[in-house]
Amino acid sequence: MPLSPEQTAEIEELRSTPQPTLRATVPGMEAHLYKAHDVLDHGFVRVIDYMGDDAAICQAARVSYGKGTKSVQNDTGLIRYLMRHWHSTPFEMCEIKLHVKLPVFVARQWIRHRTANVNEYSARYSILDREFYIPAPEHINAQSTVNNQGRGGLLEGEEAARVLEYLKADSTRAYDHYEEMISQDGQDGLARELARMNLPANIYTQWYWKVDLHNLFHFLRLRADAHAQYEIRVYAEEICKIVADWVPAAYGAFEDYRLGGANLSATAIDCIRRIVKGEVVTQETSGMSKGEWREFEGVIG
Ligand SMILES: Cc1cc2nc3c(=O)[nH]c(=O)nc-3n(C[C@H](O)[C@H](O)[C@H](O)COP(=O)(O)OP(=O)(O)OC[C@H]3O[C@@H](n4cnc5c(N)ncnc54)[C@H](O)[C@@H]3O)c2cc1C
């Protein structure tokens, strides 16, 4: 269950008691506030709070000469300029606080992004729920044969069924033992902080995650990328939709320059110039390694 009945009641109460404010608000973001967006089989992402908007980015960028927002067109142009030239601090003026429920193995990748503030559910203090990520059959893949850090084609037939069965049975068995060990029914009961070591990495955890927009974009560029692991990418993609509603101009620039853009080496740019002049450039004459050339071909199509 993505949300507990208590959490659902809390959201309904929060959404039914709006408060007037003089702060900048964004209608698209107000619509997201507190609501949970389902991700994977038991996970979610929801916005708890946010600060700033596209205008706040421009206001910060223009502070040096004391002029605030001019027009939407100017703001969009300025934001695109800032993004293009890596003038990043104005984006740090916007902040977002998310409540995320995610499998522990996804949390391990996520927590590597050190530039956020995190507060996680305590499995020393509380008892974890019996909720495990079990991939849908269309996400049970074989090891990739070309990329050690990725997955290949779908597992099928008896092998796929057996894998799913192991994942479900092992999770259930580990949780049964966890429950049995912490039980104080007729025994002392093992401390929760010790019993949790028996739980598998597909169990769900939860945290509050607060980050500024510049560092959020960095996270999204890495984790919404097609090469990111599917299970973290779906969270990043959900956050992308939220950010698009929050700061449409900044998200548009990010989508154009970072998500859809590419970094090219001096050698790659030289190859493009040679190709434009009509030269037939091959990997052997490019000055690039086979791997670089493959990626370069991916960029120029
Ligand atoms: C496809 C992929 C594969 C990966 N594979 C592995 C792997 O095999 N093993 C592994 O361990 N990790 C792996 N990672 C994690 C990766 O190395 C980074 O730790 C992670 O992406 C977070 O990036 P970051 O440090 O830039 O982000 P953040 O921690 O958010 O930092 C943002 C930026 O702040 C600066 N910064 C933050 N803290 C410091 C600091 N202490 N010192 C200097 N500068 C700092 C850096 O400029 C950094 O880029 C992988 C990531 C991806 C996307």
Q: Could you tell me how many residues make up the chain?
A: 301
**pLDDT given for residue 136 in this prediction:** 92
What letter does residue 116 receive in the DSSP assignment?
A: S
Residue type, 172: T
* Residue 123 is labelled as binding a ligand: yes
Structure tokens at 17: 């008691």
Sign of the CA dihedral 228, 32, 54, 255? positive
pLDDT band for 5, please (50, 70, 90 cuts): confident
Tens digit of each residue's pLDDT (9 = 90 or more) over 253-274 = 999 999 999 999 999 999 999 9
Mutate to test the pocket of ligand 1, among 92, 105, 115, 231 (most ligand atoms within 8 A of CB): 115
φ/ψ of 165, rounded to 5, equals -65, -45
Across 113-127, 142-156, 248-262, least confident range: 142-156
Catalytic-residue membership of 223: yes
Q: What per-residue confidence (pLDDT) applies to 72?
A: 57
Going by pLDDT thresholds of 50, 70 and 90, the confidence category of residue 148 is confident
Whether residue 1 has pLDDT greater than 90: no
DSSP state of 226: T
67 versus 180: the higher-pLDDT residue is: 180
DSSP letter, residue 272:
H
Percent of the chain with pLDDT over 70: 96
Tell me if 273 is assigned to a ligand binding site: no
Is any atom of ligand 1 closer than 6 Å to the C-beta of 215? yes
Residue of 223, 233, 258, 273 with catalytic role: 223
**What is the reported pLDDT for 28?**
95
| CA 108 to centroid of ligand 1, rounded, Å | 12
Q: Is 114 in the pocket of ligand 1 (CB under 6 A)?
A: yes
User: Is 60 exceeded by the pLDDT of residue 102?
Assistant: yes
What is the distance between the alpha carbons of residues 215 and 88, in angstroms, rounded to a whole number? 9
Mean pLDDT along residues 179-195: 95
Range in 19-23, 182-186, 233-237 with the lowest mean pLDDT? 19-23
Q: Is 118 in the pocket of ligand 1 (CB under 6 A)?
A: no
Q: Which atom belonging to ligand 1 lies closest to the Cα atom of 227?
A: 1
Dist CA 81 CA 261 (whole Å):
15
- 13 is written with which tokens? 């109460």
Question: Rounded distance, CA 1 to CA 21, Å?
Answer: 34
Q: What is the pLDDT of residue 149?
A: 76
Q: Is 222 in the pocket of ligand 1 (CB under 6 A)?
A: yes
How many A from CA of 113 to the centre of ligand 1? Answer: 6
What percentage of residues in the chain have a pLDDT greater than 90? Answer: 77
